[in-house]
Structure 1
Amino acid sequence: MADILISEVGPRDGLQSIDRIMPTEAKKRWIAAEAAAGVREIEVGSFVPPSLLPQMADSAEIVAFACTIPGLNVVALVPNAKGAARAIEAGAHAISIPFSMSETHSLKNVRKSHAQMLEEIAVIAGLAKAARVHFAVGLSTAFGCTMEGPVEEDQVVRLAVASAEAGAQEFSLSDTTGYANPAQVKRLVRAVKAGVGAERMTTLHLHNTRGLGLANALAGLEEGITTLDASLGGLGGCPFAPGASGNIVTEDLVFMLEAMGVNTGIDLKALLDVRAIVAEALPGEPLYGFTPDAGLPLGFEGIAA
């Protein structure tokens, strides 16, 4: 099986999902420590107005810092063209915009219809191309929506194709609400690949809300997915299911892959040590993970040969 890229999203998705604000210097220590452990890509912030997400107010400074770390691909989430321009100005290597496959969710979340979102994607694609910045679209609520329920797979494919025609270079299927199951993951990955091409349908952003996160990740790998998003300690929880874990736990995902002989390039022992930085900066914030609780099994080397 080919090498798999683990994209750490905790500094963005994790931190913007909790009320408290992590100090800027702690964010920098976290990002630097993960990069030192072998994490090659980190989504470090979001260029949403600080009035809406004060947790992300320092994103420009964080992007600038992260760009000084050799070999790290620095990703930023953007909500619109204005945010994209700010992310590009800050120096992000790649930008991503969430595009809800549920129109009800899109209207409530960003106040834009599907047609309006496609117009926004086209504008951002132009900005990214001019700046030579990679531009990805996250197909959010692709597996189901708490407002609409099931989302038609044909609709996901149609909107993915339209986004590609508007200039999106890469796609992620996002289980925003924790609805996905392995059979559905396989089916939808195949369908979107058929629509936009395998080289563009590369990534899964999965939640562990109902305990299926790693099973869904494995299903994606079996369909040729090469990038998996995860959050250290599953940070952020899930706003749609109080008390349930949110993002896939980075440490558990790395353990599963390395135990299978899949090379992530990450030193798991070093990664486990990074939790102390987050715990110190966010005292009392729940951190999830079976691997950190149980420890590594005897003879586990941390990085597959």
Structure 2
Amino acid sequence: MNQTATEQVLISEVGMRDGLQSIKSIMPTEYKFKLIDALYEAGVREIEVCSFVPATLLPQMADAPEVVRYALRYPDLTVMALVPNLRGARNALQAGAHKLTLPVSASEAHSLANVRKTREQMVQEVRQIVALRNEIAPGVKIEAGISTAFGCTIQGMVSEDDVVRLASQLVAAGADETGLSDTTGYANPAQVRRLFRRVFAEIGDKCGAAHMHNTRGLGMANNLAAYDVGVRTFDASLGGLGGCPYAPGASGNVVTEDLVFMFEAMGIDTGINIDKLIGARVPLQAGVPEEAVYGMVAEAGVPLTFQQQV
């Protein structure tokens, strides 16, 4: 943390889900445990550790209950899981996840490809999951993330009016928050500012995380644009792993190390030690040795002028 830090942001690490499910390799469970340990040691306090989907579809997530239970050993760590439907939500709640995130696509074509449901059906799915949460685990938070909010590789243009309307519907269905995802890497900073402003105006402080991809090199700029208009939670992936298997060409999550460095260099507190975060790449690469990892800061090194107290 810089001595002059006056603002704080939450960096939500999504690589263990978004990253690992998008590659061919399957990380052994024991390496997932090592990665959780390393991320926590670096100061990461929210990790999307898995998704609860059938192992036949995503064998990379077959050990989801075990991974959640391991992460729960850290009392101040928010353990998050992605769930595409009511069955997945029940399994995640039974495993003990603190927060569930649901992918609700603003693109009808992507929604049908990704979860085999229309947008309206997914809003109803959120309503049912909220009811289940209220019944068996009332303390768990529900995040309904709006994917393809800035454009879709299948459908093309996505109406901003549709995105704002969907955000309102998700909050009305009981979601605690809803963020915007640039699933396909189509967004630009002006678009990010405009759409987040509209969503903030519609749902206020229930507007949640920015989930940006760096597919066309604008991920960091888009995150900074989101910060400028009030977003304070940002998804990122260690080593830049990730994408969406149901959005062709949608590669490249924002690199957690680069995002943390940017905010800390600006005097914005992330609570994460950049050197230890770069060190967390060791168990990541050991667990999936055939996969490429990315990151400018890890490659170039931290500048001599950079000071951090975390």
How high is the TM-score relative to the length of structure 2? 0.94
Instruction: Name the SS for the 1:135 alignment partner.
Output: strand
**Is 1:277 paired with 2:286?**
no
Checking the alignment, whether the CA contact within 8 Å between 2:213 and 2:243 is kept in structure 1 is no
Q: Deviations over 1:9-40 (max 9, x none)?
A: 00000000011100001001101110111001
1:193 aligned residue (190, 193, 200): 200
RMSD of aligned Cα (Å): 1.4
Checking the alignment, whether the CA contact within 8 Å between 1:258 and 1:264 is kept in structure 2 is yes
User: Equivalents in 1 of 2:47, 2:309: separation in Å?
Assistant: 19
1:142 aligned residue (139, 149, 152): 149
Question: Which is worse superposed, 128-137 or 225-234?
Answer: 128-137
Checking the alignment, whether the CA contact within 8 Å between 2:109 and 2:154 is kept in structure 1 is yes
- Aligned pair count reads 302
1:160 aligned residue (167, 171, 193): 167
Match of 1:203 in 2: 209
**Is 1:172 paired with 2:179?**
yes
Once the 2 structures are TM-superposed, how far is the Cα of residue 302 of structure 1 from its aligned partner? Answer: 3.3
Checking the alignment, whether the CA contact within 8 Å between 1:264 and 1:303 is kept in structure 2 is no
User: Equivalents in 2 of 1:143, 1:174: separation in Å?
Assistant: 8
Match of 2:65 in 1: 60
Checking the alignment, whether the CA contact within 8 Å between 2:213 and 2:252 is kept in structure 1 is yes
**Is 1:256 paired with 2:278?**
no
Instruction: Name the SS for the 1:172 alignment partner.
Output: strand
Instruction: Name the SS for the 2:8 alignment partner.
Output: coil
Instruction: Name the SS for the 1:97 alignment partner.
Output: strand
Q: Which amino acid aligns with 2:50?
A: G
Structure 2, unpaired ranges of 5+: 1-5
Give 1:33-72 correspondences, 5 Å limit. Answer: 33-72=38-77
User: Equivalents in 2 of 1:66, 1:223: separation in Å?
Assistant: 33
Checking the alignment, whether the CA contact within 8 Å between 2:25 and 2:291 is kept in structure 1 is no
**Is 1:103 paired with 2:108?**
yes
Q: Which amino acid aligns with 2:49?
A: V
User: Equivalents in 1 of 2:141, 2:243: separation in Å?
Assistant: 28
Q: CA 1:221 to 1:303, structure 2 compared with 1: closer, same or farther past 3 Å? A: farther
**Is 1:93 paired with 2:98?**
yes
Structure 1, unpaired ranges of 5+: none
Match of 2:3 in 1: none
Instruction: Name the SS for the 2:305 alignment partner.
Output: coil
User: Equivalents in 2 of 1:207, 1:110: separation in Å?
Assistant: 20
Question: Which is worse superposed, 125-134 or 291-300?
Answer: 125-134
Match of 1:223 in 2: 229
Q: Deviations over 1:93-130 (max 9, x none)?
A: 00010000001111122111122111111001111223
Checking the alignment, whether the CA contact within 8 Å between 1:121 and 1:167 is kept in structure 2 is yes
The sequence identity of aligned pairs, in percent, is 57
Once the 2 structures are TM-superposed, how far is the Cα of residue 252 of structure 1 from its aligned partner? Answer: 0.3
User: Equivalents in 1 of 2:255, 2:34: separation in Å?
Assistant: 19
Q: Which amino acid aligns with 1:204?
A: A
Instruction: Name the SS for the 1:265 alignment partner.
Output: coil
Question: Which is worse superposed, 208-217 or 295-304?
Answer: 295-304
Q: Deviations over 1:227-267 (max 9, x none)?
A: 0000000013565566x851000000011000000000001
Match of 2:16 in 1: 11
User: Equivalents in 2 of 1:109, 1:255: separation in Å?
Assistant: 33
Checking the alignment, whether the CA contact within 8 Å between 1:16 and 1:56 is kept in structure 2 is yes
2:124 aligned residue (119, 128, 131): 119
Q: Deviations over 1:179-237 (max 9, x none)?
A: 0000000011011111111x110210000000000000000000110100000000135
User: Equivalents in 1 of 2:114, 2:244: separation in Å?
Assistant: 16
Q: CA 1:153 to 1:74, structure 2 compared with 1: closer, same or farther past 3 Å? A: same
Question: Which is worse superposed, 127-136 or 174-183?
Answer: 127-136
Q: Which amino acid aligns with 1:76?
A: A
1:81 aligned residue (83, 86, 111): 86
